[in-house]
Amino acid sequence: MKTLWVGWMATAGLCSTLLAGGQGDEVVVIYNSRLPESKELAFYYAQRRAVPTNQVLGFDLPATEAMTRAEFRDQLQRPLVKALERLRLVQIRSEIIPATRERTGDAFQRITDA
């Protein structure tokens, strides 16, 4: 169980490193809503780092130490992106690169403001 906590806190730390320049209002803390201990630890961390409580996000994640790529995408990545947009912490724009005779087209999403 302790290993799992460390894993989720590492994820929270990664998010804080990626999304923040050290200010609590620019950080999100992620926890596993299936594990009460994870929520408790997330709010403790948020309080210590002055992260607003609305930026402490719980997701229904596997209670195991690992997750499949599909679980990551469907249970963490997509819901996290939606939550970040809802909180207006990021803006995401869809872009389409049309196909040409030399290459196929592509569609993707890009963070335009964080």
Which residues of the chain, if any, have pLDDT below 70?
1-22
Coil, helix or strand at residue 87: coil
Say what the pLDDT of residue 93 is: 86
Report if pTM > 0.85. Answer: no
Range of the domain at 73: 2-113
Q: Please state, in angstroms and rounded to a whole number, the distance separating the CA atoms of residues 21 and 24.
A: 9
Total count of domains within the chain: 1
Q: Which residues contact 2 (CB under 8 A, 6 or more apart)?
A: none
- 76 near 97, Cβ under 8 Å? no
Say what the pLDDT of residue 9 is: 53
Q: Which secondary structure element, helix H or strand E, spans residue 90, and what is its range?
A: none
